[in-house]
């Protein structure tokens, strides 16, 4: 039996607990809050009506960045991260984005390749993790309505 999955827009503050548990459990809770959280669009994945995964999306014009894609540790490897990625990619197409990018943990970059992301030369080290900037371009016509089924 598959879990009931629902993705919806959520308040920024609802992302913080999931970010903390999934990404930085050993750091202070406030360290997962982003200074521009209230400027972004945040999505929550509910599995059986329980908030289980989150992702935050920020835009500058038609270029979007997603940040803090996180799934609760006990729910990882169940495809929830994939569902969130597919959702924000579709969201970006509807918004007529030209590019979607992220700062990916180096040990997770293989995950993003599946969604058409490419590795850039930009890397950095922060909070004990190595990161690489990854991006995905949207081609003209990729945003057409035929991509979205009822």
Question: pLDDT at position 141, please?
Answer: 64
Q: Are 118 and 109 in contact (CB under 8 A)?
A: no
Write out the chain's pLDDT in tens, 150 residues.
567 999 999 999 999 999 999 999 999 999 999 999 999 999 999 999 999 999 999 999 999 999 999 999 999 999 999 999 999 999 999 999 999 999 999 999 999 999 999 999 999 999 888 999 999 999 876 654 444 444
E strands in 11-147: 41-47, 50-60, 63-71, 99-105, 118-126, 129-137
Q: Are 116 and 97 in contact (CB under 8 A)?
A: no
Closest listed residue to residue 115, CA positions, set 150, 70, 146, 84: 84
Cβ–Cβ contacts within 10 Å for residue 100, how many? Answer: 26
CATH superfamily of 5-147: Gcn5-related N-acetyltransferase (GNAT) (3.40.630.30)
Question: pLDDT at position 150, please?
Answer: 40
Please, which residues have CB within 8 angstroms of residue 126's CB and are 6 or more apart in sequence? Answer: none
Cβ–Cβ contacts within 10 Å for residue 106, how many? Answer: 13
Counting residues of the chain whose pLDDT is more than 90, the rounded percentage is: 88
Question: pLDDT at position 61, please?
Answer: 95
Tell whether pTM > 0.85: yes
């Amino acid at each position: 039996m598959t879990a009931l999955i629902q993705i919806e827009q959520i308040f920024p503050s609802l992302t913080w607990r999931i970010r903390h548990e999934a990404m930085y459990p050993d750091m202070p809770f406030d360290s997962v809050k982003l200074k521009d959280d209230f400027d972004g669009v945040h999505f929550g994945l509910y599995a059986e009506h329980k908030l289980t995964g989150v992702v935050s999306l920020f835009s500058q014009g038609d270029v979007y960045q997603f940040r803090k894609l996180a799934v609760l540790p006990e729910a990882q490897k169940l495809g929830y991260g994939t569902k969130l990625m597919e959702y924000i990619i579709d969201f970006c197409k509807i918004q007529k984005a030209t590019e979607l990018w992220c700062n990916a943990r180096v040990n997770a970059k293989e995950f993003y390749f599946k969604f058409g992301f490419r590795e850039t030369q930009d890397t950095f080290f922060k909070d004990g993790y190595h990161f690489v900037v990854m991006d995905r371009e949207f081609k003209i016509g990729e945003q057409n309505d035929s991509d979205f089924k009822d």
